[in-house]
């Protein structure tokens, strides 16, 4: 049976799982775990992914992340390839380390996000040798476990600098100063009270983690992509459209926003034109966020990701801004079409 095609789109949220081949260990010691976490942070920065949380177990890893650039497969390829090369060299082995391709369930960005984060963060206390301890002992183990993002969320240590905790913490529904305490209470309550309805959804849902409307939307996306794949005889959905140059994009954005091109490459707080340039450099020129940050003087890929998030927030109720972005996009398309016709 053909495997189900990936659905990737800008802003998609995924529950990603990586498992060792034949359920074997992928971490033999803390040095392996530290290397994986380091590489995870690098891949997040390179690909402009918003990593909400993670948990590393002996033979598998859970990630919860958002892909502003619709590039989950690229992100996971960078992460898994780099870690496998390291692991094989260090432990003098060869061959595959991971079991098949990674798992990826689409997630609705609402209360399901909060429930899923609890499930992931509780993984370290539901393993053999730990799950039968007393409640107090399991709480202590959870708070001491260093190879997940939980301790940062709970306010017990400084969070990893490559994490984006705000979307999950916001789901607690309390003021910012009390969010970590509320989140810790929510997660640790799950040690004594399991959410059977959510666990059943997690295990049985074919299309994604969310309500019926969300799952229907994902099912429809799968249908469309499957039909397109058959029509194009390209099951990987590889895009063969021409890629614009960075110069073309910057000129188009400068024209649409009525600014000098050089202004797009100078640091300016709250500059919508620079954020639009970042958006279209990724969309039309195929650049990753790290290279965009370097070109526009924004710093790291993570900084670009934050700029794009603020841009999306503004687009929600700024019609004029959307018109300017569309104008720049049309200009880029026209320049590219003229170039291809030569």
pLDDT tens column, 303-341: 787 788 788 778 777 888 988 998 998 898 888 777 765
pLDDT tens column, 40-77: 999 999 999 999 999 999 999 999 999 999 999 999 99
Summarize the confidence of residues 81-95 as an average pLDDT.
94
pLDDT of residue 53: 96
Domains, the chain? 12-217 (3.30.70.1290), 246-341 (1.10.1750.10)
pLDDT of residue 5: 65
pLDDT of residue 266: 86
If one compares 271 and 212, the residue with the highest pLDDT of the two is: 271
Q: Which of 87-91, 131-135, 179-183, 231-235 has the lowest mean pLDDT?
A: 231-235
For the cut 70, the answer to whether the pLDDT of residue 227 exceeds it is: no
- Token pair, residue 278, equals 């970042």
If one compares 335 and 106, the residue with the highest pLDDT of the two is: 106
- Measured CA to CA, the distance from residue 320 to residue 85 in angstroms comes to 48
3-state secondary structure the chain: CCCCCCCCCCCEEEEEEEEEHHHCCCCCCHHHHHHHHHHHHHHHHHHCCEEEEEEECCCEEEEEEEECCCCHHHHHHHHHHHHHHHHHHHCCCCCCCECCCCEEEEECCCHHHHHHHHHHHCHHHCCCCCCCCCHHHHHHHHHHCCCECHHHHCCCCCCCCCECCHHHHHCCCCCHHHHHHHHHHHHHHCCCCCCHHHHHHHHHCCCCECCHHHHHHHHHHHHHHHHHHHHHCCCCCCCCCCCCCHHHHHHHHHHHHCCCHHHHHCCCCCCHHHHHHHHHHHHHCCCCHHHHHHHHCCCCHHHHHHHHHHHHHHHCCCHHHHHHHHHHHHHHHHHHHHHHHC
Summarize the confidence of residues 134-139 as an average pLDDT.
91
pLDDT tens column, 178-201: 999 999 999 998 887 766 665 665
Q: pLDDT band for position 244 (50/70/90)?
A: confident
Percent of the chain with pLDDT over 70: 87
Q: Which of 22-26, 217-221, 274-278 has the lowest mean pLDDT?
A: 217-221
- Measured CA to CA, the distance from residue 281 to residue 276 in angstroms comes to 8
If one compares 267 and 228, the residue with the highest pLDDT of the two is: 267
pLDDT of residue 241: 45
If one compares 134 and 242, the residue with the highest pLDDT of the two is: 134
pLDDT of residue 169: 95
């Amino acid at each position: 049976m053909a495997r189900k095609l990936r659905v990737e789109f800008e802003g998609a949220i995924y529950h990603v799982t990586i498992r060792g081949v034949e359920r074997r260990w992928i971490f033999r010691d803390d040095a392996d775990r530290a290397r994986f976490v380091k590489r995870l942070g690098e891949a997040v920065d390179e690909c402009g992914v918003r990593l909400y949380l993670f948990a590393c177990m002996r033979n598998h890893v859970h990630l919860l992340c958002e892909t502003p650039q619709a590039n989950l497969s690229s992100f996971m390829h960078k992460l898994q390839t780099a870690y496998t090369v390291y692991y094989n060299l260090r432990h003098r082995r060869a061959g595959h380390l991971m079991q098949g391709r990674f798992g990826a369930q689409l997630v609705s960005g609402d209360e399901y996000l909060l429930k899923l984060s609890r499930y992931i963060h509780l993984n370290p206390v539901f393993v053999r040798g730990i799950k039968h301890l007393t409640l107090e002992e399991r709480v202590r183990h959870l708070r001491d476990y260093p190879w997940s993002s939980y301790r940062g969320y709970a306010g017990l240590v400084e969070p990893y600098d490559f994490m984006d905790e705000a979307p999950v913490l916001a789901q607690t529904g309390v003021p910012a100063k009390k969010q970590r305490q509320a989140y810790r209470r929510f997660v640790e309550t799950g040690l004594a009270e399991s959410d059977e309805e959510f666990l059943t959804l997690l295990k049985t849902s074919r299309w994604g983690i969310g309500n019926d409307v969300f799952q229907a939307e994902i099912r429809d996306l799968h249908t469309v992509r499957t039909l397109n794949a058959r029509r194009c005889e390209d099951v990987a959905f590889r895009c063969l459209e021409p890629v614009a140059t960075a110069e073309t994009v910057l000129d188009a954005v400068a024209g649409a926003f009525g600014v000098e091109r050089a202004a797009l490459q100078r640091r300016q707080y709250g500059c919508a034109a620079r954020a639009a340039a970042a958006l279209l450099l990724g969309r039309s020129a195929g650049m990753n966020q790290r290279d965009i940050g370097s070109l526009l003087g924004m710093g790291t890929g993570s900084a670009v990701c934050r700029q794009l998030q603020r841009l999306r927030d503004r687009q929600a109720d700024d019609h004029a801004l959307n018109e300017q972005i569309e104008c720049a996009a049309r200009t880029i398309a026209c320049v590219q079409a003229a170039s291809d016709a030569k």
